[in-house]
Structure 1
Amino acid sequence: MWDVKNSRASGKSVEAQKINLAVDKIRVEVNRRYQELMQTDGYVTAAKLKDAYLGIGVKQETLLKLFEQHNAEFEKKVGHSRAQGTFTRYRTVCNHIREFLPHTYRREDIPLKELNLTFINDFEYFLRTEKKCRTNTVWGYMIVLKHIVSIARNDGRLPFNPFAGYINSPESVDRGYLTQTEIQTLMDAPMKNATHELVRDLFVFSVFTGLAYSDVKNLTVDRLQTFFDGNLWIITRRKKTNTESNIRLLDVPKRIIEKYKGLARDGHVFPVPSNGSCNKILKDIGRQCGFKVRLTYHVARHTNATTVLLSHGVPIETVSRLLGHTNIKTTQIYAKITAQKISQDMETLSHKLEDMEKNICRAI
């Protein structure tokens, strides 16, 4: 018998209980679909609710599908307007999510509309515990996920922000740089062989230009141009960010270019060894020189920003442009105010305030 008033099967028989259990499941699912429609469209009709429940005309947007679609489009731009390293980071985060979903949620994918703050925090916990990621790595990976979510939000596929209320920040890291004395020590140190000397010279070239390894490796002769001021400049774009980076060549980098002129192929300026070989040799050279800082091309760029530019009075806005940064906050991470620079600035200030201080001191 059917209880019309309560919309349930009457009685306590096994058959009635099965029917009522099925009815309850349907009711829960219909209510969930109702709430989804209200969130996305702001109104519900019987026809829309029926179609949503039956899956008619409803395209289920999921996180991994969106991520994979994004990565496929991004990969086409690698080598043109996007860098391989950035693509690798997106692919890594996508793979981590592919592992995270069955590990934590026992599912292969998740609808975008089911994303929430709990999901975001669970993924962060997974990165820290299961993948053993450090704080700054986690921070970088969460930025990637946030970007993917923002794509869905911007095109209307996700009407809310799952990251609302999420708090995460990177740890401050001492980037490391060489002092002027250490740069001279590096240049005076005898090199084991010609390859070590080449790698040392390329590092110093980066110190005086701020170019990253990939930009030094890809630097071609046609990028060396006499600019409007009559000086020789590097006119290029950073591979990582595709931002314009025009750098006037000082005497040291010009001397290094001349030293290796004609030794590279395909119009390149330098015969640059692989990144792995350079890092290995730089580590050996740093140990030979007794440096506490491990030599890398990142250290070369930090040295350029700090020791070469900022410590000699170049404004941080100019430093940012020379390094090809898209955001001055990035430059502030690279560039450190040295004690020597503070001392010089305070000495300059002391001379400027000399008369004012004399008058005040008389009144004390």
Structure 2
Amino acid sequence: MNELKVTFYLKKNEERTDGTIPILGRIRIGKSMVQFSTKVYVIPTLWDVKSGRAVGKSKPAATVNKELDRISLDIHSACKDLLAKKENVSALEVKNAFQGISSEQETLISLYEKCNDNFYKKVGINRKLATYKQYCVALNHLKDFLRQKYNVRDLPFQSLNPAFVSAYDLYLRSDLKIGRASVTRMMGYLHRVLKSAINNGHLRQDPFAGYTFDYVPIVPKFLSEKELKRMITTPLPKSNLNLVRDVFLFSAFTGISFSDLRNLTVKNLAQAEDGTWWIHSARQKTGTPFHVPLLELPLELIGKYRGIAKADRLFPMYSCSKTNIYLKKIAEICQIKRRVTFHQARHTYASVITLSQGVPLDTVRELMGHRDWRATRIYAHLTYDKVNEDMSKLQKRITDKFKLAEDEHAETVIRKEVKHAKRMKP
């Protein structure tokens, strides 16, 4: 094992009202290093940086040195006890043992890693690999934060408090320059881990108490009916653009996401007794089944690409990033003056193709494969045309049903008031 080194130094710019400064300790074993608070304070003029001790024979200096010697002896003793049980120990393990925290006790990073491992076991069942990767990225950011701000690789749950949560939030925003939505997502991941710690008895109070999640308002992303028609009817100069446009339109008229559409094969097609063709499949993201009846345009597109894609897939498709690059070019050609991405097709299906045409929200939820109607509300937005149409129908229904009673006296009073106002004009 590498040699154990214990050193002490002053925490500058932390002077107390009595003129003393706190002393911090550092444990180093090989490449592992951890800091800790000694809860010992000294007058700066008494401190010798080179020796890491107070100088002189005064009573304050002797008291400080005696306490630091005791701490150093306790740390070496804790390290010796650990080495009797295992061959190699880390600085964090020695610190935890010295402070009376069992090395077997759960810690922040170890529990986070266990939560990620449990999530990975669900990938392909009801969780997505891309989401698991996001959890791993968030964990790496947390590890970097602990190394940069605390010089440790892990923390016991007793060290976590609202100040830690605020510091991590600030680190993500100011140091890493991460956007609002991503910060909210990563803080949510950490909160789930800490909830697990609370449920398992590792943590008594929630460090997120008082923390406010900075949710980004959801903005409707669907194409308008005019934009959709323009995309359908505008001639495109290249075959690759036509393919991307056709796949986008298929999604816009079925609500099927990019990843689910890429997995569709001829086996997912079925014809009902009434002659209607359906697509039966399950969401790759959640495993939730969805069943979509095919309208005329999607049927034409299936026929157009029949037998072209490999492995009986319905469409030959580019990667999602490549598809979105081509969609940007298509939007320019179609004079759609805003950014268009493939996911907007799913929003368009929920808003323009279904909900705005009178399809109930519960039906839209089933068509889109959502387990919860609240997820459908994110996609489904009524267009102004639909609101105007519904209000026109309402006006026709209530015409002649609600009328003000005629009041000849009131009409006379109004005429008099108008004449009086005209006389008062300069």
| Distance in structure 2 (CA, Å) of the matches to 1:167 and 1:54 | 33
Partner of 2:371: 326
TM-score normalised by structure 2 residue count: 0.71
Q: 1:239: how far off?
A: 1.3
Is 1:96–2:141 an aligned residue pair?
yes
Aligned equivalent of 1:290:
335
Q: Deviations over 1:307-338 (max 9, x none)?
A: 11111112223222322233333322222221
Scaled by the length of structure 1, the TM-score of the pair is 0.82
Provide the rounded CA distance (Å) in 1 between the counterparts of 2:126 and 2:184.
Answer: 24
Matching residue's letter, 1:307: V
State whether structure 2 residue 57 is matched by structure 1 residue 19: no
- Output the CA distance in 2 between the equivalents of 1:199 and 1:82: 27
| Matched AA of 1:259 | K
Please identify, of 241-250 and 221-230, the stretch whose mean Cα deviation from structure 2 is larger. 221-230
Aligned counterpart in structure 1 of residue 284 of structure 2, from 216, 233, 239: 239
| Equivalent position of 1:314 in the other structure | 359
* Letter in structure 2 aligned against 1:180: E
The residue identity in structure 2 corresponding to 1:114 is: S
Deviation at 1:143, TM superposition (A): 1.5
Structure 1 position 158 matched with structure 2 position 206: no
In 2: Cα distance, 1:314 partner to 1:108 partner: 54
1:275 matched to which residue of 2?
Answer: 320
Instruction: Name the aligned partner's letter for residue 217 of structure 1.
Output: R
How far off is 1:300 after superposition?
0.8
Higher relative CO (CA 8 A, sep ≥ 6), structure 1 or 2? 1
Contact 2:327 2:342 in 1 (8 A): no
Question: Which stretch shows the higher mean deviation, 174-183 or 305-314?
Answer: 174-183
Residues 57/353 of structure 1: CA separation in 2 closer, same or farther (3 Å cut): same
- SS class of match (1:151): helix
Aligned CA distance change for structure 1 residues 140 and 228 (closer, same or farther; 3 Å): farther
Q: 1:146 to 1:285 in 2, by over 3 A?
A: same
Compared CA separation, residues 237 and 361, structure 1 to 2 (3 A) = farther
The structure with more helix, counted as a fraction of residues: 1
**Hey, what does 1:180 align to over in structure 2?**
225
- Provide the residue aligned with 2:171 in structure 1: 126
Q: Which runs of 5+ in 1 are unaligned?
A: 1-10, 28-50
Identify the match of residue 148 of structure 1 among 176, 193, 217.
193
Structure 1 residues 13 and 234 mapped into 2: Cα distance closer, same or farther (>3 Å)? closer
State how 1:67-106 maps to structure 2 within 5 Å.
67-106=112-151
Cross-structure match for 1:305: 350
SS, match of residue 292 in structure 2:
strand
Partner in structure 2 of residue 261 of structure 1: 306
SS in 2 for 1:234: strand
Structure 2 CA distance for aligned equivalents of residues 54 and 139 of structure 1: 34
Structure 2: stretches of 5+ with no match in the other structure: 1-57, 75-95, 411-426
C-alpha distance 274-56 of structure 1, shift in aligned 2 (>3 A): closer
Q: How many residue pairs align between the two structures?
A: 330
- CA drift of 1:220 comes to 1.9
1:108 is matched with: 153
Q: Map Cα deviations across residues 100-148 of structure 1 (whole Å, 9 max, x no partner).
A: 1122222211122322211111111111111211212211222222222
Question: How far apart, in 2, do the equivalents of 1:111 and 1:229 lie?
Answer: 64
Once the 2 structures are TM-superposed, how far is the Cα of residue 188 of structure 1 from its aligned partner? 1.4
Confirm or deny: 8 A CA contact 2:236 2:333 kept in the other structure. no
Cα 1:227–1:23 change in 2 (3 A) is farther
Shift of 1:227: 4.5
Which whole-Å CA distance do the structure 2 matches of 1:87 and 1:175 have between them?
27
Provide the rounded CA distance (Å) in 1 between the counterparts of 2:285 and 2:173.
27
Q: Is 1:102–1:108's contact at 8 Å kept on the other side of the alignment?
A: yes
Identity of aligned pairs, percent?
36
